[in-house]
Amino acid sequence: METSTDYDRSKELKTFDDTKAASKGSSMPSEDVPSAKLDEDYGDSFQVPVIDLKDVLDPAEHEDIIEKMRLASEKWGFFQVINHGIPQDVMNKVSGCVQSFHEQPGEVKMKFYSQALIEYSENVQSLGRILFGLLSEALGLNPSHFTDMGCMEGHSFVCHYYPACPEPDRTIEHAKHCDPDFITILLQYQTGLQVLHQDHWIDINPLEGALKVNIGDLLQLILNDKLRSSEHRVLDKCEGPRISVACFFTAHFQASNRLYGLIKELLSADNPPLYKLTLIKDYLNSFSIKDYNDSALAFLRLK
């Protein structure tokens, strides 16, 4: 079939990939993706909260940290943590290994990548326990409430590598979404991550040594919307490769048949149940079939 152009998309895609100018995550060139309009006029009033955990064991500071985490989780669904206890060299190592994994020949990829991820996994497991404890206290629950109900029984990693892109305005990476877990801990040094806050896309600027934390759908569900799982997205904005290591605390693989319901201690006449009892696998089905503009939680709300 004759066309009015000599453009060969297959050839261009191959050339794009061969030069490593295309992402090895979910970004790819597109003829019809519009340039993103960023919200950049809101100053310091629209900055994702940063929580310092340095004095979390100090009784004089503990309550203040809990309150900051509660407000951040209610209003934003996102916050960054600093002085979280994971050594900088451990974070640098796992980030560097993700990059090496994608840039080295296949036969040398796995050994160092696996070692670094195991070391980081052990550290992030400890941080997750601290965060779940603080969130429990912020809600007036026993510090071990979330761990006792299985929120930490499984965690999985998604490691992304996006090489530098010569035409970032013609790519789209992760579309807006909420995470299908209890909480996510994200290691990412570069720009590009945005959270939807008060109908505006807000940049979550990286801080040295900081980790990003966000509330997932499953935590919002069992808390009856007390904390929020916010939509977020990733844009291709950095000059060099963008590397991210996301840890999802979830029971998907261990307990797909487990029935999760609302935490009764949080319910009252003024806070009636919003969701029905839900199997993890039913939530996952909702997540997989949801419309682009809908939340998976919408399918599980009581009528």
Higher pLDDT, 13 or 293: 293
Instruction: Confirm whether 82 is domain-assigned.
Output: yes
> What's the pTM?
0.81
Q: What is the pLDDT of residues 114-166, one digit of tens each?
A: 788 899 999 999 999 999 999 999 999 999 999 998 888 888 898 888 777 66
Long-range contacts of residues 259-266, Cβ cutoff 8 Å, at least 24 apart: 260/218, 260/221, 260/222, 261/222, 262/221, 262/222, 262/223, 262/224, 263/141, 263/145, 263/222, 263/223, 263/224, 265/140, 265/141, 266/139, 266/141, 266/223, 266/224, 266/226
So what's the pLDDT on residue 252?
61
- Supply the CATH number for residue 201's domain: 2.60.120.330
- Number of structural domains in the chain: 1
Instruction: Confirm whether 54 is domain-assigned.
Output: yes
So what's the pLDDT on residue 206?
87
Instruction: Confirm whether 273 is domain-assigned.
Output: no
For CA atoms 110, 116, 118, 121, the dihedral sign is negative
Q: What is the pLDDT of residues 265-286, one digit of tens each?
A: 999 999 999 998 888 878 877 7
Instruction: Confirm whether 174 is domain-assigned.
Output: yes
Residue 43 has pLDDT above 70, yes or no: no
Instruction: Confirm whether 8 is domain-assigned.
Output: no
Instruction: Confirm whether 300 is domain-assigned.
Output: no
Instruction: State the average pLDDT over residues 286-292.
Output: 68
- Find the domain containing 236 and state its range: 37-255
Instruction: Confirm whether 12 is domain-assigned.
Output: no
Instruction: State the average pLDDT over residues 87-103.
Output: 89
Residue 16 has pLDDT above 80, yes or no: no
Instruction: Confirm whether 239 is domain-assigned.
Output: yes
CB atoms near residue 294 (< 10 Å): 11
CA 288 to chain centre: 17
